[in-house]
Structure 1
Amino acid sequence: MGVFSNKIAREDLKPGDHIYSWRTAYIYAHHGIYVGDGMVIHFTRAAGQEIGTGTILDRIIFSCSPSNVGASCEICGDQSMKQGVISSCVDCFLAGGDLYIFHYSVSPIFFIAKARGGTCTLAASDPTSDALHRAKYLLNNGFGMYSLFKNNCEDFAIYCKTGLLLVTSFSVGRSGQLTSLAAAVSAVAASPLRFMTMSAGGLTMVAGGMYCIGRYVSDIGVRRDVVKIPVERLVAESTPHEPETAPPAQANH
């Protein structure tokens, strides 16, 4: 497990691994669960169905969509319009990018050393059989509506590995990438206001410290607003139920 790179060779992959690939010039990564036999289950948004924001976020949202628009993979076929939880071969999942593995149960020192969010967590992963069961169950039943900030591909993979979900509605999801971004914004916004008299070096150190603290307290392995929910319950609670209808009235004769 390296501090500087989580890159892994394909031949070293094991079923149940949480893997990812950087997209859009290393701005954002797409995550999934390797299930064996060269296949990955991941949560995606259909290409061509992204919600435009007019900002760089459009490129991030698009990066989590199937990339083979108009192409047909010999294994996967044309997945360009598929959305939700899908199964793809490793090549289609990577979309030309490199392969990385997400680490669990890392030490606080290692976590802070990995300054880029979305690469590891202090949370422990469940047994491989549990991760595979959740991924395959959600492949058949869905993981809700894709949301960059609340319910994205990294959130999906972390849930498959840990079974943990947030219980507070106002928080960003389990995604380390988004909590890392939130920590960076908070550090940059707060530092100049509170420490205007400090030197540039001191300001950098303070901002860096605030960023690291923000990432640490937002990690799913540290937060107190998470609960473990069985995948069957998750799907049952997210599935709308048909309203009960009263039996037709009997005609009076």
Structure 2
Amino acid sequence: MGLLSNRVDRQSLKPGDHIYSWRAAYIYAHHGIYVGDDTVIHFTRRGQEVGTGTVLDVLLISSGPTRSHLPCPTCTPPDEGHGVVSSCLNCFLAGGVLYRFEYAVTPALFIAKARGGTCTLAVSDPDEIVVHRAKYLLDNGFGCYNVFKNNCEDFAIYCKTGLLVVDEGRLGQSGQAASIIGGPLAAVLSTPLRLFSTNLYGMAATAVAVYCASRYAADIGLRRDVMKVPVEDLTRRLATGSLQVVEPQISVTPSLGSPQLLTQ
């Protein structure tokens, strides 16, 4: 893998890798967890999903199950259900190129990779834990698909880190979602700054800086609205609404300055 590309070959894959492949002319990527034996577990829009009510709903297509006129001799056709499926690597890639998502990157490398959905500052858990989470969610589901708050990248990041965004009013972990929102947001936020620079290049540089700052602040490795949630508790807590964030209480203990997880 290099600075500009996370492309890898199949021989370098190991169980627990977070992989992805670009769809729809590099507009959006589909993500999953490689679990060995040429098998990928990934989260699709099959089953329940929440749309945005905008033209951005076309992005749901990229996370749909692969459809082919010829049945795959390796994959078992999935039943209708919760959307977490197991596929062979060929079906997951759907003719696309294989890339590996990077974890624990430096801030400089994160900013250099201007396209979201390719890396994170967060640290991955051991591979055996990652595979366990993916297989558990294959049997128990990952909630309702939402292109911005609960998509295939969110699924893969949770499997790798155990971190879950628990504030319903905010975006999920997805770097792709941050990029989709961050571009227009950067243009809006940088507009008042045009008074300080009438030069076209200066205005463009300002917009890029605002975009990079918004992506950086939204990364799962920096956000304060995330908690480490055991996979065995995830489905039950989401179903019962017992997973929530409360405002931190004032305390002399520094570790209490982050959101607290409540269970009922």
2:86–2:138 Cα contact (<8 Å) kept = yes
Q: Where does the alignment leave 5 or more consecutive residues of structure 2 unmatched? A: 242-264
Matching of residues 81-230 of structure 1 within 5 Å: 84-196=83-195, 198-230=198-230
C-alpha separation in 2, matches of 1:70 and 1:52: 30
2:51–2:146 Cα contact (<8 Å) kept = no
SS across alignment from 2:19: strand
Q: Where does the alignment leave 5 or more consecutive residues of structure 1 unmatched? A: 242-253
2:143–2:238 Cα contact (<8 Å) kept = yes
Deviation at 1:191, TM superposition (A): 2.0
Deviation at 1:27, TM superposition (A): 0.4
2:189–2:210 Cα contact (<8 Å) kept = no
- What is the identity, as a one-letter code, of the residue corresponding to 2:208? G
> Could you tell me the TM-score, scaled by structure 1's length?
0.88
String of CA shifts for 1:163-199, please: whole Å, max 9, x gaps.
Answer: 0011222111000000122221111112233315521
- Give the 3 Å change call, closer, same or farther, for CA 21–82 of structure 1 in structure 2: farther
Where does residue 245 of structure 1 map in the other structure?
A: none
SS across alignment from 2:145: coil
SS across alignment from 2:233: helix
| Runs ≥4 residues deviating over 6 A | none
C-alpha separation in 2, matches of 1:240 and 1:200: 52
1:69–1:78 Cα contact (<8 Å) kept = no
1:66–1:82 Cα contact (<8 Å) kept = no
String of CA shifts for 1:20-51, please: whole Å, max 9, x gaps.
Answer: 0000110000000000000000000129x895
Where does residue 246 of structure 1 map in the other structure?
A: none
Matching of residues 24-63 of structure 1 within 5 Å: 24-46=24-46, 53=53, 55=55, 57-63=56-62
1-10 or 151-160, which deviates more: 1-10
How large is the RMSD of aligned CA atoms in angstroms?
Answer: 2.2
C-alpha separation in 1, matches of 2:240 and 2:111: 41
Where does residue 9 of structure 1 map in the other structure?
A: 9
Deviation at 1:80, TM superposition (A): 9.3
- Give the 3 Å change call, closer, same or farther, for CA 110–144 of structure 1 in structure 2: same
C-alpha separation in 2, matches of 1:52 and 1:165: 21
SS across alignment from 2:187: helix
> Could you tell me the TM-score, scaled by structure 2's length?
0.85
String of CA shifts for 1:94-149, please: whole Å, max 9, x gaps.
Answer: 01100000000000000000000000000000001110110000001000111101
String of CA shifts for 1:53-106, please: whole Å, max 9, x gaps.
Answer: 562x24310110112244310011445967511000000000110000000000
C-alpha separation in 2, matches of 1:163 and 1:8: 24
1:41–1:135 Cα contact (<8 Å) kept = yes
- Give the 3 Å change call, closer, same or farther, for CA 157–59 of structure 1 in structure 2: same
SS across alignment from 2:201: helix
Q: How many residues align?
A: 240
C-alpha separation in 2, matches of 1:54 and 1:237: 30
Larger Rg: 1
C-alpha separation in 2, matches of 1:20 and 1:140: 22
SS across alignment from 1:106: coil
